[in-house]
Each structure stands twice: as C-alpha cells, then as structure tokens.
C-alpha cells in the first residue's frame, strides 16, 4: 500500500489537474451539494464571532457560507490543492467576503494551535484522508472545549446513485483499480457508525447521524464570465 505522503502527492496532483474543469461546473456542483452544506451548518450552531475551520474545503463551501453568517468571526479554508483554494478565494472576493483565509495543508497535520476553533467542518473529505484516525485527532485538538465537529460522507453505493452512476460511466471507459481495504475511496466511510467511532476514539461526544438527499441536475453550467 502507498505511504500517506505518496497518497497525498497523487491527490494533490489530481485535484490541481481537475481545478479548471471543476471551476466551470462549480455553480452546478454547489447547487447539488447545497443541502449537505446547510445540514452541516445547522449542526454547528454558528455565532456572529465564530472561529471556524473548513477541512478539505475545495472551492470554499460550506466555509464561505459560515463566513457570511459570522461577520465578526473568521474562517480558515484548508485543502491539499492550492488551485482549488484559489477558486475559493475568487468566489469569496466575488461575494464580498473578507473574513476568511486559505491554507494549504494536510488534514492530519494541521498548522494551528490547540483549542483554536469553535467549529470544524469536513464536507466529503473524510473518506480520502490517508489516516482518518490521525486526522480526527487533529480536529479534536484544534477545537475549543465544547466546540463542534460536523462532517458528511457518501452513503453506500446502493443508496447513492449520485456517485454510483458517475463511477459506472468511468468504469465503462477505463479499468478502475479495486479500492484498497480501508484505504482512501469514495465509500470508505459509508458503513453506519464508522465516523462516529472515529469521533469517540478522538474523545468527542457524538450526536445522532442524519441523511441529506439531493436530485442530480443535468443542466449546462452557468456562465462564470471567464
């Protein structure tokens, strides 16, 4: 099995290569994933002075929405790929959001002090971390006492046509290597209780899990003026 550094290097290069196309389709993707971001934010109980950390932030959500809801607070968007965070910064600037910053870093080696943030969000990033236990321990470390951590992961393939259809289409054109057991893959965290067990092992109390659904749109991407 590749080392954590090797996995991160491949992930970084992959997302850098995808960034231009992702930006083109970003409005459509944001619409599709909007209900998930909303569910995360509702569970974080955002206050006006929230200090928030968004992990694997990509093009900026739900972190930028948190920034709008916490005008006297501050949001840090992190990701492995600087190119994706550049898109997030452009989105923020277009919306007039200034209370944020971006930071290129790995989820399992966060460059922040203990008890820095009121809340941490991870939208569809957990399953791709090389070491999910170490990453979760880092999230717990940077949270203030009583802070909140909320994440979303993909449901099992049979419950998730949104991603299953896309994977099947790709598999019809290229040979996909089978996922490494408990290695980074889209459905790695799909088993009920998987993420809750990570939280508990890191010393976090857990709340009941929820499910968000969204319909897949096939509309063309809206113009971004680029």
Residue 79 is part of which domain span? Answer: 4-153+190-201
Q: Is the pLDDT reported for residue 6 higher than 50? A: yes
Which residue did the predictor score with more confidence, 198 or 221? 198
Mean of pLDDT values over 34-51? 95
Burial zone of 37 (CB within 10 Å; 0-12 exposed, 13-18 middle, 19+ buried):
buried
Confidence of residue 186 (pLDDT cuts 50, 70, 90): confident
End-to-end CA distance of the chain: 41
Quote the pLDDT of residue 225.
35
Domain membership of residue 114 (yes or no) is: yes
Mean of pLDDT values over 103-128? 97
Domain membership of residue 132 (yes or no) is: yes
Quote the pLDDT of residue 138.
98
Quote the pLDDT of residue 218.
45
Number of neighbouring beta carbons within 10 Å of residue 109:
12
Domain with 59 in it: what CATH number?
3.40.50.150
Confidence of residue 101 (pLDDT cuts 50, 70, 90): very high
Domain membership of residue 210 (yes or no) is: no
How far is residue 74's CA from residue 63's CA, in Å, rounded to a whole number? 10
Quote the pLDDT of residue 177.
61
How many domains is the chain built from? 1
Domain membership of residue 13 (yes or no) is: yes
Quote the pLDDT of residue 58.
96
Quote the pLDDT of residue 3.
92
Which residue did the predictor score with more confidence, 175 or 223? 175
Quote the pLDDT of residue 215.
54
Quote the pLDDT of residue 212.
59
Domain membership of residue 123 (yes or no) is: yes
Quote the pLDDT of residue 174.
57
Confidence of residue 221 (pLDDT cuts 50, 70, 90): very low
Which residue did the predictor score with more confidence, 163 or 54? 54
Mean of pLDDT values over 114-124? 97
**Percentage of residues in the chain having pLDDT higher than 70:** 84
Domain membership of residue 79 (yes or no) is: yes
Domain membership of residue 184 (yes or no) is: no
Confidence of residue 170 (pLDDT cuts 50, 70, 90): low
Radius of gyration for the alpha carbons in the chain, expressed in angstroms and rounded: 17
Mean of pLDDT values over 99-126? 97
Confidence of residue 166 (pLDDT cuts 50, 70, 90): low
CA 80 to chain CA centroid, nearest Å: 11
Quote the pLDDT of residue 180.
72
How far is residue 60's CA from residue 135's CA, in Å, rounded to a whole number? 20
Domain membership of residue 211 (yes or no) is: no
Could you tell me the two tokens for 212?
């968000």
């Amino acid at each position: 099995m590749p080392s954590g550094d090797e996995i991160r290097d491949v992930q970084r290069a992959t997302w850098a290569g995808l960034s231009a196309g992702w930006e083109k389709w970003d409005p459509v993707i944001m619409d599709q994933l909007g209900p998930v971001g909303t569910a995360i934010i509702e569970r974080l109980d955002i206050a006006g002075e929230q200090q928030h950390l968004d992990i694997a932030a990509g093009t900026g959500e739900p972190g930028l929405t948190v920034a709008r809801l916490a005008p006297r607070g501050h949001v840090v968007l992190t990701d492995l790929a600087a190119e994706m965070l550049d898109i997030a910064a452009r989105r923020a600037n277009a919306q007039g959001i200034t209370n944020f910053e971006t930071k290129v870093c790995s989820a399992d080696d966060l460059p922040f002090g203990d008890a820095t943030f009121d809340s941490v969000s991870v939208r569809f990033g957990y399953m791709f971390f090389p070491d999910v236990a170490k990453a979760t321990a880092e999230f717990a470390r940077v949270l203030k006492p009583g802070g909140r951590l909320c994440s979303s992961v993909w449901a099992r393939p049979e419950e998730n046509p949104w991603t299953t259809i896309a994977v099947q289409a790709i598999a019809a054109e290229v040979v996909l290597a089978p996922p490494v057991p408990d290695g980074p893959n889209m459905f790695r965290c799909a088993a009920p209780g998987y993420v809750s067990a990570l939280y508990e092992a890191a010393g976090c109390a857990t709340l009941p899990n929820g499910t968000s659904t969204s319909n897949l749109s096939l509309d063309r991407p809206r113009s971004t003026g680029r």
